[in-house]
Structure 1
Amino acid sequence: MTYLLMSVPFIVIAGVVFAIGCRHAAALGGIRPYLLSWAAAAVTLLVLTAVFDNAMMAAGLFDYGADKISGARLGLMPLEDFLYPLAGSLLLAGLWQLLGSHRKDALA
């Protein structure tokens, strides 16, 4: 099983939770802050992943088997490594929105 195939269920579940969070935020009139905060967190996580995965791989701390990745790389890291922080940011943003105290009366 490849890392890309293994990541698909996590991305799908995270995407569904994020989409439900979007609908919830839109119902409360706060879709823009929801999307902007998710985008800021996601970009930060993706940049940190690129920097530190490349640094750790350059130091020889770990590597991926060539048969388990797509072959596309950014520096030393396979592009599949970006799926984990992307899924995490989607899932956590959605859960934060859904489980937080974001009621209409709290926004007034």
Structure 2
Amino acid sequence: MSYAALAGLFLLPPLAVTALAVLLRRPRARWWLLTAGTIAVLLVLTIVFDTVMVAVDLFRYDHSLLSGWMIGIVPVEDLAWPIAAGLLLPSLWLLLTPTEER
């Protein structure tokens, strides 16, 4: 299985939870802005720290399983994890917090 396929499978549950949260709770613009900001920060941190870890050879990728798209020396497939976390946690908070407490 390629890294892109694994990343795609990993993103499916967070996307489903986000869709459910949006349909049931109809979040305001502030929620969207904070969620997008969180994802942006996580993406920047992932790119910076993955670059360092790959550069110092802490881990390697099987290049035959990569899509070929890179940001510096970081494969784009690595960005699925911060996107998943940045979507899943705010969506769960939205679903699990009573409306009057939000």
TM-score in terms of structure 2 length? 0.90
Deviations 1:36-66 (A, max 9, x none): 1110110000000010000111111111110
For residues 80 and 106 of structure 1, do their structure 2 counterparts lie closer, same or farther at Cα, with a shift above 3 Å needed? closer
Consecutive unaligned residues in structure 1, runs of 5 or more: none
RMSD: 1.4
Deviations 1:82-105 (A, max 9, x none): 11111111111111111123x2x4
SS at match of 1:70: coil
Work out whether residues 22 and 31 of structure 1, in 8 Å CA contact, stay in contact via their aligned partners in 2.
no
For residues 31 and 63 of structure 1, do their structure 2 counterparts lie closer, same or farther at Cα, with a shift above 3 Å needed? same
Work out whether residues 24 and 97 of structure 1, in 8 Å CA contact, stay in contact via their aligned partners in 2.
no
**Partner residue of 1:23?**
23
Out of 45, 50, 62, the residue aligned to residue 48 of structure 1 is 45
Distance 1:56 1:36 in 2: 30
CA apart distance, 1:23: 2.4
Distance 1:78 1:52 in 2: 13
SS at match of 2:57: coil
Which stretch shifts more, 40-49 or 5-14? 5-14
Size of the aligned set, in residue pairs, is 102
Which of the pair has more CA radius of gyration?
1
Work out whether residues 2 and 69 of structure 1, in 8 Å CA contact, stay in contact via their aligned partners in 2.
yes
What residue identity is the alignment partner of 1:10? F
Which portions of structure 1, spanning 4 or more consecutive aligned residues, are displaced by more than 2 angstroms?
none
Alignment of 1:1-108 (within 5 A): 1-26=1-26, 30-101=27-98, 103=99, 105-106=100-101
Consecutive unaligned residues in structure 2, runs of 5 or more: none
**Percent identity among equivalent residues?**
34
